[in-house]
Amino acid sequence: MKISEHFGLNKSQAELDFIDIDFTTDTPLFLDPFFLSKKTDNWSNQATLTLRNFFQRVIDLIRAGNENEAKELFDYLHEPNTTCLGLSRGNPQGKGVGAGDTDKIYDSLLRSRAIQTGLIQDIEDNILFVDNFGKDKLSDMTTNIITKHLIDYTQNQCRLHNIPLSAGVNSGFFWNSRQEEWESEHTEMLVINGRKLLLVPKGIVSFSKAYVPDRYYNQFVLDFLQNENIRMNTALVQRRQSGTRYVTKKSLKEINPLSKEFLRRFTRQHPEILQQFKDELEVSSLANIEFTEFNFRAVATSLIERLNATPTGSANADNFHNIIIGILELIFYPHLINPIKEREIHDGRKRIDLVFDNAAQDGIFRRLSENHNIPCPYIFVECKNYTKDVANPEVDQLAGRFSVNRGKVGFLVCRNVDNMPRLIQRCKDTFNDGRGLMIPLVDNDLIELLNVYNDWDWEPIERFLSDRIREITI
C-alpha cells in the first residue's frame, strides 16, 4: 500500500514532492547522489555538503595516518530499510551495504583518484571502481550519510499533508557534518505498523542508468582507446575500401574486457576521461523521473474539477489550500520543489502559507535572479479563498514576508478578481517601491496552466509567467 493510500491523501504522484512508496515492498528506484549534486535548491545543497564532508573527514584521517579511525567511520554504514527503495522483493530490506562491503569500499577509497587528487566529493565513483558495488549500495550509502536531511524533509512533508508523526523515536545514526561524527537523536518520525519510514524527494531518485560502468566503458573509455590506437597506428587499425582507418570496439574489448579493475587502472592513467564523462552528464538535462503508472492529462483534469467544486469562504480554506499544493507541485516541478506549509518567520510573528525551494536550472525562475537581480532562493505562496477581491492589505501582507535572504518573489493565489488590471497595478506599485515581486494567480489562470500543462514542454507555462511578470515589472 502506498503512503498516499494509507493516509487517504487523494493525491497522485504528480501532486506529491516525495516518492509515493509502497511501504510493503521496495520500489526499483535509487537515491542518486549524482542527481543530488547537480540540484541547486538549498535542501539538496546542504545534503551534498554533508556527503562531501563525510568523505573529506575520511580522507583527512587517512592522510594523518589514522586509518583505523577512518575505517571506523565506515562501520556505521548499514542496510537501511526506511526508504523502501531498491531491488529487493517482499519486505523491504535492500541489497545494501553489508559488513564485508564496507571493507571493500574503504580499501578501494585508499586506491581511488579521490585520495590522489582530493576530489573527495565523488561518492558516485564507487559504482564505477568498487568491485561488487552497485546502485543499491550507492543509494544505501548515501541514505545513511544524509539521514538527518531526510528526517527533516519527511517531517516537513508530513506536516504539509497532515500525516501524523510519532514523537520520541530514535532516528538511527546519521552523519553530523558540524561535529564530523556519527550521531543519533530522538525526534518525530513517520512510523507505520511499528516501522520507521523516510520520505525521499522525487527529484533525487533515478533508475541509475546514466552513471554506470557500462556507459563509462563503452562510450568514453573505448572511444578514447579507438582514437589512441588510430593515432599510434597500432596493429588493431584496419582500413576501409575508401582508405579510412578504424578500430573496432570488439577488438578493444577482447584485449581489455570490462572490469572495475581495468576501469581503475585506465582512470589512474587518464583521469581526464572520467572528467569528460562527468561533464557530459552535467550538461545534459537530467529529466524528471518517469512515472508511467498514471496519465498527467487525467491528473490535470481532476485538479480542475476539484478546484471548480471548492466553494469560496473560510470554511473551505483548508480544502482550497490542499488543492493549490497539488496544482503548483504539478505545473512548477522540477523548477520549484520541497513545499513547506505555514513556515514561521520573525520568531513566529508571521506565517507564510507555502514556501517552495527554487531549484530552477533555467527558465523564468532562474532569470529572475540572474538577469533581473531579484533574490529568490525561496518562492512564497499566499492562498486566499476569499469571496471578495484581494486588496492592498493582502498585497502588503505578502510583501511583508520578503527579505533579501529569504527572497522577494511570491504568488498571491485567490479565487476571482473583478478588476485584474487594478490588482496588477497594486503589484506594480509594490515592485517599483522595491518591496518585491508579487505574481497574482486566480482560478482561471490556474485552469489555463493546467489545460496547457505538458510534462515534457515547459514553454506554455514559461510564456504565461513571463507575460504576467512583464505586466508587473515594465
pLDDT digits 0-9 by tens, 125-163: 878 887 777 888 888 889 999 999 999 999 999 999 999
The answer regarding whether domain 296-473 maps to CATH 1.10.3470 reads no
Query: 222: how many CB neighbours lie within 10 A of its CB?
Result: 19
Q: 335, 316, 302, 319: which is closest to 451 by C-alpha?
A: 302
The C-alpha angle 161, 355, 291, rounded to 5 degrees, equals 55
State mean pLDDT over 378-384: 93
Query: 160: how many CB neighbours lie within 10 A of its CB?
Result: 20
What pLDDT, in 10s, does the model give residues 172-206? Answer: 999 999 999 999 999 999 999 999 999 999 988 87
Looking at residue 377, its pLDDT comes to 93
Q: Which residues of 5-17 are buried (b: 16+ CB within 10 A; e: fewer)?
A: eebebebbbbbbb
Percent of the chain with pLDDT over 90: 57
Q: 418, 227, 456: which is closest to 334 by C-alpha?
A: 456
Entry pTM: 0.86
* DSSP letter (8 states) at residue 225: H
Looking at residue 284, its pLDDT comes to 44
Say which range, 79-88, 182-191, 343-352, has the weakest mean pLDDT.
343-352
Per the CB < 8 A criterion, the answer to whether 330 and 299 are in contact is: yes
pLDDT beyond 60 at 20: yes
State mean pLDDT over 1-15: 93
With bands split at pLDDT 50, 70 and 90, how would you rate the model's confidence at 400?
confident
- Domain boundaries, given as residue ranges, for the chain: 3-206, 213-283, 296-473
End-to-end CA distance of the chain: 51
Beta bridge partners of 378: 357
Looking at residue 222, its pLDDT comes to 97
**Residue 339: cis peptide before it, omega within 30 degrees of 0:** no
Report the C-alpha dihedral over residues 215, 219, 225, 226, rounded to 10 degrees: 150
